[in-house]
Every structure is written in structure tokens, then in C-alpha cells.
Structure 1
Amino acid sequence: MSLLPTANSNGQSASYPYDDHIRQVRRSSNPFPLILKRILRVPHMDFEFAMWQMAYLLIAPRRVYRNIYYHKQTKNQWARDDPAFLVLMSILLCTSAVAWGLVYGHGFLGICKMMLYMVFVDFLLFGSVVASVCWLFSNRFLRVTASHSIEQRVEWAYAFDVHCNAFFPVFLILYVAQFFFIPILVRSSWISLLIGNTMYFSSFAWYAYGTFLGYNALPFLIHSEIFLYPIGIFLILWVGSLFGFNISRTMLQAYFGS
């Protein structure tokens, strides 16, 4: 006869700390993040905290990642389980699409297509690809495996969170600031070229820096500074573009057909 209990008073199997940990690890490694299951539960979303994160991503981005340790302790996962940030980002992109569409006279259907493209292609599809690449790369090459501690891995949902955080400054530069500089950027002058190309370089560099901060915050990863290396490539391309290639005007023509 076993000396250890196998069932509780309700007739259910007894739960042990190790078993709870295994279940939590399996949930955290699920490629389909829990956040997607809560996307329609609007009353339960913390939009105030999401806006706080957006503000600090601009003035003190490292502070945003300090909260993940608390989240890890309470939720046993590094990634967000609240879709408020994702919903706010989508709303901002849709608002931007309306503004751009009105300026370029795309009409109702054109604006709707632009909204879908900005949200599902620019933000979600691009983010999923980047998150998947960084997720695989960090787990394969940057993770430290300690023999006397529980193995930890980067969650795909966390990798997508890093993209969301890094994308917000890009949105402000390319979707908002660039909108107000349209009269200058469409001109055929070197000043217009300098301003437009600098906007794109700044946004790409900020995205790389935000990605670095996200992976650098995980204590079980090493050499996360590798995510800063693309900034050097962006700098070389930016300098080269100043000799006559107007990135902003080219992108506006391709994106909006003008």
C-alpha cells in the first residue's frame, strides 16, 4: 500500500509541485500564446498599463523590461497575457491608415485595405517572421544551459512581445512623424532626402535597439548584443543613400501609389 496520497477528498488526483511546474512549462512553451485567447475580453484588458508601457518605451525602455521579472514570478511566463498592448497598437495603425488614406484620396475601400495591410502585414506578419527567427536563434545559440537549475527557453510569445515593443517607436517615426513631413519629403531636394532617409535609419536602429533590450533582459541568454549588429549595416546603408537615393519618397510612391 502506498504511503503517499494519490487522490484528494474530491476524488481528483493529488498535485505535486513538480507536476505543477511541468504543466506550467508546457503552457509557457505553447506556440499559440494565451494572449490570443483573451483578445475578445475587452473589459478585462489593462489599457492604462499598456499606455504606461508605450510611454516608457520612449523615455526609459529598460524600465518596461524590469516588470517581466515580476510577471515571471506571478504568472510563470515571460510573455504578456494581456492583449491590451496588441489591441492599442492595432487601433493606432488603423487610425494612421485612415489619415494616410484621406490625404492620398484612396476612398473607403482603399482605406479599409490599407488598415488591413498595416495591421496584418506590417505589424502582425512582419512581427511573426521576425519573432520566429529571433526565437529560434536565441534558443539555439544564445541560451545558457545550467546543469543544476531548471532549463529555461525563450517563449515565442515573448519574442513577439519584443517585436511589439520595438515596433512602437517605428510606428511613431514612420507612420506618424513621416505623415506630417509629407510636404517636405516629396520634394526633389537633398534636404528632403536627408530628412526622409534619417527617419528610416532612426526607426530601424531603434527597432534593433528595442530587440536587444528585450533579449538582454532574459537572465539565461548570453551575447544578446548581437541584436545590435544590424545598426552598423543600417548606418552604412544610410550613408550610402545620402548620395542620391530618397528612401522616404520611394517608399511613399510604392506604398500609396503617388
Structure 2
Amino acid sequence: MYPKVSTSPPPSSPTFGRSSNSSPLPEPAVHRSHANSAVWQRTSKSAVKKCSNFVHRLFHLNQMDFEFAFWQMIYLFLSPSKVYRNVVYRKQTKNQYSRDDPAFLVLLGVWFVISSTGLSIVLRLPFISFIKFLFWVVFIDCIAVGCIVATLFWFIANKYLRKPDSINSEDVEWGFAFDVHLNAFFPPLLILHVFQLFFFNVLINHDWFIARLFGNTLWAIAVIYYLYITFLGYSSLPHLHRTQTLLYPLIPLLFFYIVTLISGINICRAILDFYNYRVY
């Protein structure tokens, strides 16, 4: 068992008293007295070893830095760029860009349960259907689809976005690509699976134009959040360039958004009808 190191932010605020180039988040928990030697020890870790350590820490809550993960979730909404300001710091201290602390994943799991419970109430799902729905959202929507999307961005980044003078340097870690996906997935989860619920029966679930406009706009905002946070994630890596190309899908998104409004497609209602269908 390892001692839990306090990571409370300074009394003033997590954003005050720091330079513009430093992370506004509370500093992650590390054994600072052994930091220098630990850096060199971590350089020899393989990807398998890192994954093994990550899974091992999933079963030791007292080793997780929940405060740091909580602040990350807040900043993903308020100022997503600040979340990635500690990426280089993590590489310098732990020899990896991806997370080695599963606290964010655990908190994300809590939000999955909360949002799935709310959706089950709105859709009036029985308990068995709630379990099926939770399974679909976690293992299909987030993990399975996330692995596909993360692999796609990982391939694009390594193949097309590396700087010319970085050909023989480090690759983008797949674990970092999946981390970026989890970061980008969180705001859409709360927008579409929590915030939307308060308006579904009273507004969205109607044939009015305003209902369609409101629901489709929520989906557009969620997708914009996902693409923007993904762009910020890859832009934080010093050996990548031209990462603005990751924002190009916003152009067809705008076109699709206009088409759905004109053609009478209510995306929110269609998706929730699909959720209903696949859990029965």
C-alpha cells in the first residue's frame, strides 16, 4: 500500500499564481523526494508494463488522485486547453504522455451510471433494460467505438502529422490517443445523457421546429466539443504539426446540421428511439 499524497489546490485558486504556460490544474500526486530517480527508472518501462500498472491501480482507490481528475473534468467544459498543459510535464516525470492514474476513468464510470439511470427513468426502462443500456453505453459507445476512433486518429497522427525532423523520434502513443478520446467523450456524455434529459419530454420529444432546433443544436455542440478537445490533445504534442486538419470535419458537420433542420430530422429523438430499440 502506498501513502496517499495530498494534491489540494492552493487556497487562492487552481488558476491563480501560475504563469500562462504552466498547468492551472493542481499538481498531480508524485513522490517528489524521489522524482528525479523515478524518471530514469520509468524510461525502461514497456507499453505492456505501463498497461499492467494502470490496471493494477484500478483496484487501489487510495493510490488514485481523484482531486486532479475532478479538476480535469471541470476544465474540459470551462477551458479544455488547460487540461493538456501538463502533458509535457507528465512525459518528463513519467516517460509517457498517457495517464498512469485511472482516477479519471473511475469518475467517468460514475457518470455513466448516473446518466444511464437518468435516461432509464426518462425512457421508463425496466431494470434489465437499464443494465443492457449501461452495457451498451460503456462497452460499445465509449470503449469499442472509442478504440476505433482512437486508432484512426493515432494512425493519422503518426502517418501524416509528425514533423519532418521527427521521423526517427517517438511515435504518438496509442494510450495517449485513447486518453484524448476519453477526454473528448466526457462533455458530450453530460450534454446528451444528462442535460438533454431535463428537456426531452417537455420540448425535444415533439414535432415542433423549435424542438428539432434545440435537440439538433445539442448534438452539434457535443460533436464540436469532441473534435475541439481531440484537436487540442494532439496539438499539445511537440513533435506534431498541422493538427488543425483534425478540425476539418466541422465543415461537413455544419452542412449535415442544416440538412437535418430542413428535412425535419430530430436527431435527439431518433437516437433515444434507437436506445429504446436496442435494449428491448
TM-score, normalised via structure 2 length: 0.79
1:140 deviates by 1.1
1:235 deviates by 0.6
Match of 1:113 among 118, 132, 138: 132
Moved over 4 A (4+): 28-34
SS in 2 for 1:181: helix
Match of 1:172 among 190, 205, 217: 190
SS in 1 for 2:86: helix
- 2:272 is the counterpart of 1:256: no
Worse overlay, 77-86 or 37-46? 37-46
CA contact (8 A) 2:65 2:103 kept: yes
Worse overlay, 23-32 or 221-230? 23-32
CA contact (8 A) 1:28 1:77 kept: no
1:29 deviates by 8.1
CA contact (8 A) 2:191 2:218 kept: yes
1:1-258 to structure 2, matched below 5 A, reads 24=43, 27-28=46-47, 32=51, 34-146=53-165, 151-183=169-201, 184-243=203-262, 244-257=264-277
1:102 deviates by 2.3
SS in 1 for 2:171: coil
1:195 deviates by 0.4
CA contact (8 A) 1:29 1:156 kept: no
1:108 deviates by 1.4
Change (3 A) 1:25 1:179: farther
How far apart, CA to CA, are the structure 1 residues paired with 2:73 and 2:178? 16
1:144 deviates by 2.1
CA contact (8 A) 2:153 2:177 kept: yes
CA contact (8 A) 2:118 2:194 kept: no
Q: Percent identity?
A: 40
CA contact (8 A) 1:145 1:151 kept: no
CA contact (8 A) 1:143 1:222 kept: yes
Change (3 A) 1:151 1:176: same
Worse overlay, 45-54 or 116-125? 116-125
TM-score, normalised via structure 1 length: 0.86
How far apart, CA to CA, are the structure 2 residues paired with 1:217 and 1:153? 14
Quick one: which amino acid aligns to residue 205 of structure 2? V
Unaligned 5+ segments in structure 1 are 1-16
Quick one: which amino acid aligns to residue 141 of structure 1? Y
Q: Counterpart of 2:5? A: none
1:62 deviates by 0.9
CA contact (8 A) 1:31 1:156 kept: no
1:49 deviates by 0.6
1:105 deviates by 2.2
Q: Residues 34-80 of structure 1, C-alpha deviation per residue, up to 9 Å, x if partnerless?
A: 42332222221111110000001111111110111111110011010
Q: Counterpart of 1:14? A: none
SS in 1 for 2:196: helix
Q: Residues 129-156 of structure 1, C-alpha deviation per residue, up to 9 Å, x if partnerless?
A: 1111111111111112537x97111001
How far apart, CA to CA, are the structure 2 residues paired with 1:41 and 1:150? 38
1:33 deviates by 6.8
Quick one: which amino acid aligns to residue 272 of structure 2? L
